[in-house]
């Protein structure tokens, strides 16, 4: 017989990127007494990865639990960026409701709409937290109206339209039902969760059913499955059956060796767990996301959300440049292949496929950021490799070639509106909405092919002088929109190997913008700058001044060089074209031509071989 487990609440915190949900979870942890009064705790404690902390974004969903009175609240902190939407989709199956965090100035953004739609599709109750009410430009009343409009747009039911609103400052550590409050604690938010998020339901006496929604990995115990117990009770050393709804033939018996529940930031070993609990299981070698852990008496798989397919791919291959093997620790194809397949243990949205070449693998993900985070992670671990230009993945639907589309929201000062509309129009973008935002900004909404955004973000920052905000979210597939012009500027390519000299660079900078300074080692075929014109140009940056009786090499010091442009990983990925590669090492990022020899490149352009 089904019953409610009243002393448990399972809730996910969802929001658009940078709306403050991780800081909000910090305050909930602090005010629930998880930390000692004298304990030093870093900010955004849930963002445990180095890259997460540096970039200020959540990449992986994380579990924690707090106690409020007699109730245990299991909290899942989810990513806010669209490229990690796969993380959000599946963890929503573990919870019974969500806290939607919305910035009191920005209001609902594209990712707000994406994650809220997923929650409403599962009929989850929602508690809306309007965060950052202490911002000078905050407009909480307008944001409440915008959130309610979004609920209606997404066909929310009557109960969801009656969602409670809580106004908070995660940084200030207070929440209130009054948008004017500027002090207090998080008690109103805890109360809203207890009162409006339902307790989990299930049959304690029924055969066991637990749905695995997340995979963790440990070097010591291997794969760890994290999921919610829907029915029954699980004990350490129980013999269970593993089933998968999407692959019904796989049915194997295993034994549970260790069982954990979450308490604060820790995983605590327990002997048994029952309905409504979110648990972590180890001892199951090939456990996958979407698996159901069942009792052998009645093995029955639970339905699981189908994870959205990747939309973009890159080729990862062994570094074969003249500098190969000089800066990395792991440089062989075996190292690269093993590491990429290991990533599949925890990243459900990633695809890795072998190619015709033994030295290359096709890696597909949900977007440029998704793949750039993977590349950055590998280089920090000591891997050296090279990657190709990102390419979108087309699909054939009803006999038509279709491509992934993005819904783009842009906030930009009024003087740059015309430039943005012109640029996106040239990239097959269609403007769907335009209206004035606060503070002299205009909000533009576009529907644009995903390939139209490749290479645009850095151009956008230049066009708006750093004042524009661009957000995008996957918006389904539509028929192919036709050719999109590639980048308008060519590459400056090193003509010979050696060390860049001031004299050579001085002559080269007249041709365009340089990416390197004096003293940098280069090789033939390496990209050293961006040409002012559309075609590529071979230049000699190693050229030295010829010495005579009246001229000395020391006069080089009088030559003034423009500081080189420092390209980030994402900017390099956006810049390279089809005939170019990005060489990635723990120390350097170098762009290069696929064919290094300039004569062979010329022959290939003319004869195609």
Query: pTM of the predicted model, to two decimals?
Result: 0.75
Question: What pLDDT is attached to residue 33?
Answer: 58
CB 116 within 8 A of CB 88: no
Is residue 401 annotated as involved in ligand binding?
no
CB 505 within 8 A of CB 517: yes
Question: What residue has token string 């990005």?
Answer: 582
Is residue 382 annotated as involved in ligand binding?
no
Query: From the DSSP assignment, how many helices (H) and strands (E) are in the chain?
Result: 15, 37
Question: What pLDDT is attached to residue 52?
Answer: 42
Query: What is the phi/psi pair of residue 325, to 5°?
Result: 80, 0
Q: Which of 520, 521, 518 is nearest to 502 (CA)?
A: 518
Question: What residue has token string 């924690």?
Answer: 64
Region 400-479: CATH code: 3.30.70.240
CB 205 within 8 A of CB 216: no
List, in order, residues 6 or more apart from 388 with CB less than 8 Å away: 314, 315, 317, 576, 581, 582
CB 256 within 8 A of CB 180: no
3-class state of residue 25 by DSSP: helix
Taken in order 410, 413, 418, 423, the sign of the CA dihedral is negative
Rounded Cα gap, residues 590 and 567, in angstroms: 10
For 203-294, the fitting CATH number among 2.40.30.10, 2.60.40.790, 2.40.160.60, 3.40.50.300 is: 2.40.30.10
Is residue 439 annotated as involved in ligand binding?
no
Question: What pLDDT is attached to residue 546?
Answer: 66
Is residue 250 annotated as involved in ligand binding?
no
Question: What pLDDT is attached to residue 38?
Answer: 41
Is residue 18 annotated as involved in ligand binding?
yes
Is residue 354 annotated as involved in ligand binding?
no
Is residue 23 annotated as involved in ligand binding?
yes
- Residues of the chain short of pLDDT 50, as ranges, are 35-49, 52-60, 80-83, 556
Q: At what angle do helices 417-426 and 456-463 cross, to 10 degrees?
A: 160
Rounded Cα gap, residues 440 and 458, in angstroms: 23
Is residue 21 annotated as involved in ligand binding?
yes
CB 186 within 8 A of CB 146: no
Question: What pLDDT is attached to residue 43?
Answer: 44
Question: What residue has token string 């990925």?
Answer: 573
Query: What is the phi/psi pair of residue 195, to 5°?
Result: -80, -30
The mean pLDDT of the chain is 82
SS3 assignment for 236-275: CCCEEEEEECCCCCCEEEEECCEEEEEEECEEEECCEECC
Q: Which of 540, 459, 432 is nearest to 496 (CA)?
A: 540
Question: What pLDDT is attached to residue 79?
Answer: 64
List, in order, residues 6 or more apart from 244 with CB less than 8 Å away: 250, 288, 290, 291, 292, 301
Question: What residue has token string 């769907």?
Answer: 432
Is residue 131 annotated as involved in ligand binding?
yes
Question: What pLDDT is attached to residue 35?
Answer: 45
Segment (H or E) for 230: strand 222-231
Q: Do domains 3-200 and 203-294 have the same CATH topology?
A: no
Question: What pLDDT is attached to residue 524?
Answer: 92
DSSP symbols for 423-448? HHHHTT-EEEEEEE-STTEEEEEEEE
Question: What pLDDT is attached to residue 552?
Answer: 53
Rounded Cα gap, residues 241 and 234, in angstroms: 12
Residue 193 tokens, joined: 């969760």
Q: Which of 5, 128, 13 is nearest to 71 (CA)?
A: 5
- List for the chain the helix, strand, coil content (%; round to 5): 25, 35, 45
Percent of the chain with pLDDT over 70: 87
Rounded Cα gap, residues 533 and 537, in angstroms: 9
> How do residues 41-80 score in pLDDT, each as one tens digit?
444 444 344 554 444 444 445 678 888 888 888 888 776 4
Q: How far is CA 388 from CA 96, 201, 362, 363, 385, in A?
A: 42, 49, 10, 10, 11
Rounded Cα gap, residues 379 and 588, in angstroms: 9
CB 22 within 8 A of CB 77: yes
CATH H-level superfamily of 314-392: Elongation Factor G (Translational Gtpase), domain 3 (3.30.70.870)
Domain boundaries, the chain: 3-200, 203-294, 314-392, 400-479, 491-547+559-579+589-607
Segment (H or E) for 149: helix 140-153
CATH H-level superfamily of 491-547+559-579+589-607: bipa protein (2.40.50.250)
3-class state of residue 317 by DSSP: strand
Is residue 562 annotated as involved in ligand binding?
no
List, in order, residues 6 or more apart from 441 with CB less than 8 Å away: 411, 412, 413, 414
3-class state of residue 180 by DSSP: coil
Q: Which CATH class is domain 3-200?
A: alpha beta
């Amino acid at each position: 017989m089904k019953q409610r487990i009243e002393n448990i609440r399972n809730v996910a915190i969802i929001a658009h990127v940078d709306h403050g949900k991780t800081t909000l979870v910090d305050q909930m942890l602090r005010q629930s007494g998880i930390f000692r009064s004298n304990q030093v705790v870093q900010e955004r404690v849930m963002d445990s990865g180095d890259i997460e902390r540096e970039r200020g974004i959540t990449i992986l969903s994380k579990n924690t639990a707090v106690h409020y009175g007699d109730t245990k609240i299991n909290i899942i902190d989810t990513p806010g960026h669209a490229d990690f939407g796969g993380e959000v989709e599946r963890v929503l199956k573990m919870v019974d409701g969500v806290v939607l965090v919305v910035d009191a100035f920005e209001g609902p953004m594209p990712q707000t709409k994406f994650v809220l739609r997923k929650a409403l599709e599962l009929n989850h109750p929602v508690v809306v937290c309007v965060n950052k009410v202490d911002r000078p430009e905050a407009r909480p009343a307008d944001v409440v109206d915008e959130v309610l409009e979004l609920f209606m747009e997404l066909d929310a039911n009557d109960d969801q339209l009656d969602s409670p609103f809580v106004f908070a400052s995660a940084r200030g550590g207070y929440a209130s039902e009054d948008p004017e409050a500027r002090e207090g604690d998080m008690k109103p938010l805890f109360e809203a969760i207890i009162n409006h998020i339902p307790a989990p339901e299930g049959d304690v006496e029924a055969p066991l059913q637990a749905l695995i929604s997340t995979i963790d990995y440990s070097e010591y115990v291997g794969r760890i499955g994290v999921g919610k117990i829907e029915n029954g009770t699980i004990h350490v050393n129980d013999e269970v059956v593993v089933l998968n709804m999407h692959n019904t033939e796989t049915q194997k018996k295993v034994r549970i060796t260790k069982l954990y529940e979450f308490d604060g930031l820790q995983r605590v070993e327990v002997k048994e767990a029952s309905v409504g609990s979110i648990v972590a299981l180890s001892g199951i070698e090939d456990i996958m996301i979407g698996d159901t852990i069942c009792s052998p008496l009645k093995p029955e798989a639970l339905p699981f959300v189908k994870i959205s397919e990747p939309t973009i791919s890159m080729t990862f291959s062994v570094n074969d440049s003249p500098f190969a093997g000089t800066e990395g620790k792991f440089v062989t194809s075996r190292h690269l292949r093993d590491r990429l397949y290991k990533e599949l243990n925890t990243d459900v949205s990633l695809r890795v496929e072998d190619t015709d070449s033994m030295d290359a693998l096709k890696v597909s993900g949900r977007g440029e950021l998704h793949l750039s985070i993977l590349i950055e992670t590998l280089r920090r671990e000591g891997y050296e490799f090279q990657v190709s230009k990102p390419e979108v993945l087309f699909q054939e639907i009803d006999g038509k070639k279709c491509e992934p589309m993005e819904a783009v929201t842009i906030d930009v000062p009024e003087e740059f509106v015309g430039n943005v509309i012109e640029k996106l129009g040239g990239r097959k973008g269609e403007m769907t909405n335009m209206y004035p935002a606060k503070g002299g900004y205009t909000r533009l909404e576009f529907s644009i092919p995903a390939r139209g955004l490749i290479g645009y973000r850095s151009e956008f920052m230049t066009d708006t002088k750093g004042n524009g905000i661009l957000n995008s979210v996957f918006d389904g597939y539509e028929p192919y929109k036709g050719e999109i012009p590639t980048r308008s500027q060519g590459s400056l390519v090193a003509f010979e190997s050696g060390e860049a000299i001031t004299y050579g660079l001085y002559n080269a900078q007249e041709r365009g913008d340089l990416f390197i300074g004096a003293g940098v080692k280069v090789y033939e075929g390496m990209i050293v700058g961006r040409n002012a014109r559309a075609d590529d140009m071979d230049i000699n940056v190693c050229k030295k001044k010829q010495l005579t009786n009246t001229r000395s090499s020391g006069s080089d010091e009088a030559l003034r060089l423009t500081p080189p442009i420092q390209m980030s990983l994402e900017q390099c990925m956006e810049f390279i074209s089809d005939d170019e590669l990005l060489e990635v090492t723990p120390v350097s990022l170098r762009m290069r031509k696929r064919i290094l020899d300039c004569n062979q490149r010329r022959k290939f352009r003319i004869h195609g071989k």
